[in-house]
Amino acid sequence: MSEGGQPDWMQQEERSHALVLRFMVWLSLTFGRRLGRVVLHFITAYFVLFAPSARRASRHYLERALGRHAGWRDGYRHVLSFASTIHDRVYLLNDRFKDFDIQVFGQQTLRESLAGGEGALLIGAHLGSFEALRAVGWGAGGLKVAMLMYEDNARKLNASLAAINPKAMQDIIPLGRMESMLEVRDKLDQGYMVGMLADRTLGDDAVTMIDFLGHPAPFPVGPWRLAAMLKRPVYFMTGLYMGGNRYELHFEPLADFSHVERAGRQVAIEQAMANYVGCLERHCRRQPYNWFNFFNFWRTK
């Protein structure tokens, strides 16, 4: 946590420059994914060389996830994975799903949960690509996806993505507004899957310290209180980048608050959070270069 009460990730200078993004969009859609990926290496090298605090945070995380020393090659691969998922948004948000090999795990269980016509909550992390999930929803049909998200830190990036395809900014529910919970409830009643990321705080959020990769880390309680109040089933979600044009989407049940009474709510929340962090840790160890929190995640002061 930085001085002034804001978490480190909110204090970092935004590096998603609109002109560079628009150039990459034009280049990628005009000349194809292969040439665009060549340019990614130059962008990655720049980031690794000139973002020392992010580089240190990357090494700090990777050594815990890998269980060994993380060198420059590991750091470069980490940033390149992040850049690749950003680049692939250009295609996923333009309905170019056939350019990708996307495997889905746990989708049948999720569909059975949605069979009654009511939606479910999907809780993920800054792990892999959320756009891959939205691609499956749009491409397969019948799966409606909305996202509850903190917009300010990535406002330039979101504006550029909206310019790529106006549909990119549909079904986004901003955090921090009085009516946000009502919008989430309405989307769930319409059969939507509503996703949110539960691995960052907004500064004054209540947190619970949970062991993650061998060390206690702060995880926000807010998403789980929301799930409990809405009395919905909750699934872990992640769209892991596997290299090349390959992604893996995973859905895993975490909790079902639909039958939890008020007296048992706190215990149910604690168990759901433990299940969530367990899933997160397992996927981070399996695909460590997919974790995109480039700040000191474990520092609380």
Angle, alpha carbons 186-235-170 (nearest 5°): 40
User: Is residue 256 within a helix (H) or strand (E), and if so which, with residue range?
Assistant: strand 246-256
Q: What is the pLDDT of residues 33-91, one digit of tens each?
A: 888 888 899 989 999 999 999 999 999 999 999 999 999 999 999 999 999 998 898 88
CB count within 10 Å of CB 69 equals: 9
Alpha-carbon distance 164 to 104, whole Å?
Answer: 26
Is residue 287 helix, strand or coil?
Answer: coil
Confidence at residue 156, expressed as pLDDT on a 0 to 100 scale: 54
Query: Does 142 score more than 90 pLDDT?
Result: no
Rounded distance between C-alpha atoms, residue 47 and residue 16, angstroms = 11
The structure tokens listed for 130 are: 């959320």
3-state class (DSSP) for residue 189: helix
Q: What span, in angstroms and rounded, lies between the C-alpha atoms of 184 and 123?
A: 13
Other CB atoms within a 10 A radius of the CB of residue 272 amount to 23
| pLDDT band at 256; cut points 50, 70, 90 | very high
pLDDT of residue 200: 84
Hey, which residues does 209 pair with through a beta bridge?
218
Q: How confident is the model at residue 10 (pLDDT cuts 50, 70, 90)?
A: very low
Confidence (pLDDT) at 153: 47
Alpha-carbon dihedral sign for residues 127, 129, 131, 136: negative
Highest-pLDDT range among 54-63, 111-120, 185-194:
54-63
> Going edge to edge, which strands form the sheet with 172-174?
101-105, 246-256, 233-243, 120-124, 193-197, 145-149, 172-174
> Looking at per-residue confidence, does 25 or 47 come out higher?
47
The rounded mean pLDDT for the chain is: 84
Q: What pLDDT does residue 132 have?
A: 81
pLDDT at 154: 44
Given a cut of 80, whether residue 221 has pLDDT beyond it is yes
Q: What are phi and psi of 125, to 5 degrees?
A: -150, 180
Measured distance CA(208)–CA(200) in Å, rounded: 12
Q: Confidence band (pLDDT; 50, 70, 90) for 201? A: confident
The model's pTM: 0.88
Q: How confident is the model at residue 171 (pLDDT cuts 50, 70, 90)?
A: confident
Contact 250, 242 (CB under 8 A): no
In this predicted structure, the answer to whether residue 101 has a pLDDT above a threshold of 80 is yes
pLDDT at 210: 96
Q: What is the CA radius of gyration of the chain?
A: 19
DSSP string, 95-121: T-GGGSEEEEESHHHHHHHHTTS--EE
